[in-house]
Structure 1
Amino acid sequence: MRGFFIAAVPLAAILAFAAPARAFSFCPVTIDAVQALGFGPTEAYVNATDTRFGVELQSEAPITASGTLSMATDGQIYRVPFRDLKFAADPLHAATAGYIAPPVFISFDRPQTLSYLWVSDVTLEGDTSVDCPLFPFRATHDFFNHTFTEQSANEPHRIADQRILDARSSALTLQPTVASHISRGCGIPDRQPLLTRRYEPKVDTRTLLGPTQVSAFVFISPEGAPLYVELSQTSDVPALNANVMESASHSTYSPATVDCMLAAGVYLFRALFSK
C-alpha cells in the first residue's frame, strides 16, 4: 500500500519546477511503503483494514537512524519508536529505490485503517538530531492510482510492498511492535491542502482540436507555500504544460493538517483547456 511522499519523488525529474518559497528542509528518513500484511503487493485496493502492517523507510544516503513513526487512523493517533535502523541499497532493485531499511512491523489490538503516516524525532548515528518537517505519507492509493498517473509508475511501489511481505515471511522470529494509543484534541485533525486562490495566466488555445486536460502535483509546505510542481498529465502542446506549471506555482493554498498540526501535503492541480 502506498501513498504520497516527498523525498522519494525525484525532485530533479523532467518537468519538475521549483517554485519560490522560504527555506524548507527535508527529513533524512521518509516512508517508502506501507503494506497491510493480510493483502498482496497490489496498488489496487484503497483503505485496507488490518491488524498488522509493515512499513518500509527510505533514505537518500546509507545512514543509521532512530526516530518515531506516527500513524493516523480513524480518530486516533498511534506512535511507535524505531531504533538504529541501517539504510542500505537494495541490490535487486537498485534503480527503483534509494537506501532502504528493514521494515518496521506494527500490530494493533483491533483492525485499523491507516490514513496517514509520518516520521519525526529523527536521530542519526553520532547523536545528530534532525527537526523533520511534518510531511504525511497518505496510506490510501488515491494519489498514485489517480487516472492521470502513469500506471508504469506503480511498479516500484509494488516491488516495495513485496519487499515488506518477503521480510515478514523470511524473518519468522520478528514480532510486530505494539504501537501506543494517543488521542487527538481538535475537531478536524486531518485535512489535505486546499486551493484558495487560482492564478490563471493567459494562453492561446485556438489550435486545440478539442478539450485538453493537464494536471500537476503541487507540493505544499506547512506554511501553505507551493514548493514544487510536477506534471502528472501532459499535453502535446508545450504552452499548455507551461501554463499549468505557472498557474499552479503562483496560486494560493492553505496547508494540510495532521494530528491538529500544520503539515506539508500534496494538491492535485487540474486545468481543462478548450477553444
Structure 2
Amino acid sequence: MTAVIVALFAALGLAIGSFLNVVIWRVPRGESVVRPPSACPGCGRKIRARDNVPVLSWLLLRARCRDCRAPISAQYPVVELLTGVLFVLVLVRFGLTWELPGYLYGAAIGVALTVIDLKVHRLPNAIVLPSYIVVSALLLVAAIGTGDWSALLRAGIGGVVLYAAYFLMCLAYPAGMGFGDVKLAALIGAYLGWIGWGALAIGAFGAFLLGGAFSLVLIVLRRAGRKSGIPFGPWMILGAACGIAFGEQIWSSYLSAVM
C-alpha cells in the first residue's frame, strides 16, 4: 500500500471528520445537517471557506472565531484528527477490498455517536436507524463483490443475536440500559458477525469489560457512585473496534488455551 493512498484516506477522514462536527452539533438539536451553512454559534456569522479547513484552520485562528473571538472547542480538531486516524487504520485492516466502504462508514458513525452519547447521553435515531439500510446495502455489495455469502449470513445472525441480547438486558434492567443501546447493538453485531464468530464474541464481551473497568475506576476515584449514569454507547463502539481489530486472533488464542 503506497504512502499516497494512505495520505488520501487520511485526508478523506479529516474532511469527513469536519462534517461529523456538524452532525454532532445539529442532530441532537433536531436541525438539518445540510442547511443553513455552518456559522459561529456566538455571533452567527457564516464560517468562511478558508476557516473551514480541518485542524489547520483551528490552529491558525488560535481556537477563536475570526469575527467575535469566541472560543472554538478543541472537540473540532480532535474529531477531525480521530476520524482521519481511524480511516487509515480501517484501510490498513481491510485494504482496498469490498468490505472497506462499509467499515469506513462504521468508523464515521462510531465517532459521531460516541461524542453525542458522551455529551447528551443519547444515541439519536436520526443516525442509527438510517444506518440499518446503509450498512445492509454496503455489506450486501461486499458479499456480491467477494462472493462470500456466509459472511453476510453471519452478519445478519450477529445483528439479530446482539439486538436480542441487549433487548433482554434492557427489559431486565431498564435503568442501566437504554433502548438506544439496543438499536446500536444490531449494527455492531452485523459488523462483528461479518468478520467471524470470534470477533462477535470478543467485541460483545469487550464492551462490558471496558465499560465495567472504567466505571470501577470512577468509583474508586469517587468520581461516580454505583447508581451514576454512564453512557454505554462509547464502550459498545470501543469494544466493537477491538473485536474488529483483534477479535479473531484473541478468540483463536483462547480456544487453543482451553482445548
Question: Normalization by structure 2: what TM-score?
Answer: 0.26
- Which structure shows the higher helix fraction? 2
Q: Which has the higher contact order (CA 8 A, sep 6+)?
A: 1
TM-score computed with the length of structure 1 as normaliser: 0.25
